[in-house]
Chains A and B, each alone.
Chain A
């Protein structure tokens, strides 16, 4: 199978604690995947490794058709290569307007010199308008991001992620702090996005995962415990013991 991201045999140790232990993971170019697992299973560390924040002690992380190793790239280079990440807590630039936040995220050259001379073209502002409409913030464009509610910040961050046009989306607990209606909107959006790109969702909420209706990877103690449909993995006795049984 042609894969977009291939993580193989990755291990990382923090002060003697094995956060990731010989982990292997593969995702295709247009696929939705949920990662579940108890606290400390290594979900966040896994994302840190893929986005370049943490360097693994051993193993390979290979990206794209050209099979580039992500391990030699900086966070910014990985992001430019097409990996977008949404944090659990919404992290938007609170001191700046919603529109400035989106403009910053828009896919465009990122070097200081090209950004210095960059000025928005009508097409760019149309794109910002469209993105804001998609995440329900069309009326909030001139407001400071810091004035938005928690849920609106979540949406703004999702909008910024969309503006980046990543090929792989890493989403950490997208539904946290959202109302039921917003959760449904998020589910629909993620399913829709996964038609054209790879989406990895880390989630605690089983109901949310069920609604995503996708392949599930269960992490435990830094390694893959089980993989398959939600029904398949929930029948796995090991999974029941370490995660669902509690």
Chain B
């Protein structure tokens, strides 16, 4: 009982060790800081994967631990990306506009610069004024605050409405999906003020760091993503190891009983929902500068469903499972859909993986759900010789705890 957090959770140390080794390995092999064994674009892919691992961690917290199958967390992820993207695009365009106006006879006024930026950014949707949502886009600190605040407040309001009316289970999943769909449809409109279906682009160019090569920038973002994942992992593991985690898992298993213990269940759900939305938003804010572009398609409901699939394949209910699932499936997915996977020629039909990858993914999802509910993380149990009892067959005694036929046979 008096053991420390780390000795009770050895997996945290193992995870940190693996993450550090991975980060070190990539650092030593990258173009900017090592032997140039892997390309800058692959470093970016790996950095983005770390961000996906981070959002999967949030998904595991809300689904695996709290039992709320949210199909809208990628909306928070994308919102985080939009918020940071607004500053990136504004400040970068400002640099260009100022440079262009520097040659004119009269020095440009602040209004002229502002109009120039608006024309540059919004010319593509036929507008020339900055919409009100871009009010803070000139300031990095304010926009960074919005990365947390916008998804946080959205999750708080949405969660408050949903949990207060005791919407649970599949109905809640549908509601979250409707939320992300509505948000995506709204963003697709040109007059939403976020460039409609063009989205925000050129996010890989960091304002003020034009002289830094992309190879170096990609390493910086890779390190930041690894750090964010490590910190979030420890924080979430710490939260879940105490009484708070106990209550959260209890809510997943029998929320009515938790109410009768005196815990305000709705408050706990709202807390976790908002916290995970913020984690997702931070992951998104680190992801999109590496991706370079964000558009409303990123909020499509399918993105959030993928997130659930990653966590399910990785093994929900344990944090490293979610991380492994996200890393494994998203890397595999980019390998298959990148056209690098060799096609399989069956003679009468050629399996082209770009088309068939989704079928394979769907099939593995079904198989994992049916035959390996613990997911990839279950492999660690197998290695550690932990086996869940096979409780099938008829009970041999009158009590609930009695051995079942098949157990007794072993």
- Which A residues are within 8 Å of any B CB, using their own CB? 51, 53, 74-77, 79-80, 84-85, 87, 91, 93-96, 99-100, 103-105, 110-112, 115-116, 118-120, 125, 147-153, 160, 164
Contact = CB atoms under 8 A, between A and B. Distances in A.
Interface stretch (B30-38, B247-255, B308-316): B247-255
Nearest to B272: A112
Q: Which applies to chain B's interface (DSSP): helix, strand, loop or mixed? A: helix
B265 interface: yes
A95 B388 CA distance: 12
13 contacts: A79-B259, A84-B260, A93-B246, A93-B254, A104-B247, A110-B263, A110-B264, A116-B244, A119-B243, A149-B401, A149-B402, A150-B398, A164-B261
A100 B265 CA distance: 18
Given A94-B253, A120-B1, A79 B400 contact: no
Given A74-B264, A76-B265, A112 B271 contact: yes
B169 to A, nearest CB: 18
Contact of A104 (B1, B243, B267): B243
B243 A118 contact: yes
Contacts of A153: 400
Contacts, number: 88
Contacts of B1: 99, 120, 125
Contact of A51 (B260, B263, B400): B260
A76 B259 contact: yes
Given A95-B249, A115-B247, A160-B261, 20 more contacts: A53-B256, A74-B259, A75-B256, A76-B263, A77-B262, A79-B260, A87-B257, A93-B250, A95-B253, A100-B246, A110-B261, A110-B264, A115-B244, A116-B244, A118-B243, A120-B243, A148-B401, A149-B400, A149-B401, A164-B261
A147 B388 CA distance: 12
Contacts of A76: 259, 262-265
Q: Which applies to chain A's interface (DSSP): helix, strand, loop or mixed? A: helix
Nearest to A104: B246
B239 interface: yes
Interface residues of B, number: 28
Contact of B268 (A51, A112, A160): A112
A137 to B, nearest CB: 13
Contacts of A100: 246
Nearest to A118: B243
B400 A150 contact: yes
A87 B260 CA distance: 10
B262 A164 contact: yes
A151 B399 contact: yes
Contacts of A105: 261
Contact of A91 (B246, B257, B400, B402): B257
Interface string B68-87: 00000000000000000000
Given A96-B249, A151-B399, A103 B261 contact: no
A110 B243 CA distance: 10
B342 interface: no
A153 B250 CA distance: 16
A63 B256 CA distance: 22
A175 B239 CA distance: 38
Given A91-B254, A93-B249, A100-B246, A111 B267 contact: yes
B347 interface: no
